[in-house]
């Protein structure tokens, strides 16, 4: 160690040197201990900059708490006590488009004087500050006490920082032209000891990755449920979906903790994001992990943006299904479905799906036919008239072929709705609405059907449940 422990012994004549040496040893012990606990223990813990001051070509730190590389702790709570004046920033931005703001503390030098007053020309590590203190045990007995205060200041990257221990805290960029006002460069992320210190890092990047994964989980989980996909899936793309869902669920569980907890070191979050990229690389074009940048505590922005972008690209390799599903919901005596304008384009096919529950397929088709439910499909405006007059509605053709885009679950059967030039279809196009009507004598819950999706039907003396949904499938060119 650089600063050795004082040899306290009987008969020692105590001098200030002994106490100072003991304090230096204690401070070095704490610094080495912190370094042993975490090699990247330094960085900002809190920072508040005045943006209005920067637009006036001044840098003013309102609050700051940080640990320097040598373990020195800096706490600035007095607003305006750290300032870069206008002339210094103007000169720096005149020479370069961007300039870094550095937190600077003079290094401890053995031999020369390390304590001075702010009026002296030298740059001492400490300045003297006399405060009147009372006896904290007994109270009262106020006495003036000389204290040492760290001589903290701000430097710019264009200025000489030799003899200082420094830490970058921000980057200022010049406006697009000479008359524009300077601004904080939000793309730069200084060394921080926790994600929540820097909103651009914690909220802007790590939580965006969390949200990206969460959205994809919602899509994939719905696909897996709708299609009844399992690990023994044989259809193309199904196994990829369930494998990706498993990897995303694992990453989501860890990121939920990292993204919303206080005091999480950036290294932990970066390691987890890299792990997620590695797991999802199976779904990429090369089926292997491409080289990722090593952790750079001094330049956090580029590495985090790169890993989040790679994560986004890998997540998008398994795309959404080609169908959109909307349930038919009770509205008066009809079952209506909410339509999307693009579904009326000729590139979209329509299928009415019936969730038959425990019914066999043949019994379900018989239940829907004339003489029983006698179902009719048309526009909301015409469907009741079509039903009462037994007129021809939209065709409902039992689906006999495999449509890969539709969820293949045993409880669903499908009917294709072909396009034609008949009046019922034209009215659907004119009103852009679609509705079902059924014989209500067999519907047990017809009085409670408003806003509901499930019909309770009396079929040959037993109670069965039916649900109807429209599946819109976009044809591939």
pLDDT tens digit sequence for 170-223 = 999 987 666 678 999 999 999 999 999 999 999 999 999 999 999 999 988 887
What Rg do the C-alpha atoms of the chain give, in angstroms? 36
At residue 20, the pLDDT reads 76
* Contact of 349 with 472, CB cutoff 8 Å: yes
Residues 6+ apart with CB under 8 A from 127: 115, 116, 117, 118, 148, 149, 151
At residue 30, the pLDDT reads 73
Which residues of the chain carry a pLDDT beneath 70?
A: 1-3, 6-7, 9, 18, 21-22, 25, 28-29, 31-38, 78-80, 117-122, 176-179, 226-229, 232-236, 319-322, 476-477
Q: How far apart are CA 279 and CA 289, in angstroms?
A: 8
pLDDT tens, position by position, 266-300: 999 999 999 999 999 998 888 888 899 999 999 99
Residues 6+ apart with CB under 8 A from 303: 270, 293, 294, 295, 296
Q: How much is the pTM?
A: 0.66
Residues 6+ apart with CB under 8 A from 322: 405, 473, 474, 476
Q: Which residue has the tokens 């406006």?
A: 175
């Amino acid at each position: 160690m650089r600063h050795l422990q004082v040899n306290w012994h009987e008969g020692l004549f105590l001098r200030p040197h002994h106490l100072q040496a003991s304090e230096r040893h204690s401070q070095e012990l704490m610094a080495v201990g912190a370094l042993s606990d975490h090699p990247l223990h330094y960085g900002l813990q809190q920072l508040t900059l005045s943006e209005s001051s920067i637009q006036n070509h001044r840098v003013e730190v309102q609050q700051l708490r940080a640990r320097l590389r040598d373990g020195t702790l800096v706490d600035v709570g007095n607003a305006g006590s750290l300032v870069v004046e206008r002339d210094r920033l103007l000169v720096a931005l005149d020479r370069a488009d961007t300039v870094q703001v550095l937190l600077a503390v003079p290094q401890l030098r053995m031999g020369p004087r390390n304590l001075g007053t702010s009026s002296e020309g030298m740059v001492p590590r400490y300045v003297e500050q006399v405060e009147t203190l009372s006896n904290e045990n007994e109270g009262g007995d106020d006495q003036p006490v000389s204290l040492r205060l760290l001589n903290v200041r701000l430097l710019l990257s264009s200025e000489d920082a030799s003899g200082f221990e420094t830490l970058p805290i921000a980057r200022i960029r010049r406006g697009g032209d000479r008359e524009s006002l300077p601004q904080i460069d939000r793309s730069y992320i200084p060394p921080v000891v926790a994600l929540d210190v820097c909103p651009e890092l914690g909220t802007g990047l790590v939580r965006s990755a969390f949200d990206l994964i969460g959205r994809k989980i919602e899509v994939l989980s719905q696909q897996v449920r709708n299609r009844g996909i399992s690990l023994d899936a044989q259809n193309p793309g199904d196994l990829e979906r369930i494998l990706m869902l498993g990897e995303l669920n694992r990453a989501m569980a860890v990121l939920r903790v990292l993204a919303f907890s206080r005091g999480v070191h950036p290294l932990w979050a970066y390691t987890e994001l890299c792990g997620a990229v590695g797991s999802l690389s199976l779904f990429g074009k090369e089926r292997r992990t491409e080289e990722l940048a090593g952790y750079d505590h001094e330049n956090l922005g580029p590495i985090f943006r790169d890993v989040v972008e790679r994560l986004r690209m890998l997540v998008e390799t398994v795309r959404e299904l080609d169908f959109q599903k909307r349930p038919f919901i009770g509205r008066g005596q009809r079952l209506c479905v909410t339509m999307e304008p693009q579904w009326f384009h000729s590139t979209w096919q329509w299928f009415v799906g019936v969730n038959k529950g425990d019914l066999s397929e043949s019994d379900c088709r018989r239940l829907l036919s004339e003489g029983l439910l006698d179902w009719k499909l048309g526009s909301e405006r015409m469907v009741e008239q079509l039903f009462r007059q037994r007129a021809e509605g939209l065709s409902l053709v039992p689906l006999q072929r495999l449509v890969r885009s539709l969820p293949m679950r045993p409880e669903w059967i499908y009917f294709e709705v072909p396009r034609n030039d008949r009046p019922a279809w034209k009215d659907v196009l004119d009103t852009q609405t679609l509705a079902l009507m059924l014989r209500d004598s067999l519907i047990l819950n017809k009085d409670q059907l408003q806003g509901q999706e499930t019909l309770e039907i009396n079929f040959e003396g037993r109670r069965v449940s039916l649900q109807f949904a429209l599946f819109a499938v976009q044809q591939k060119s």
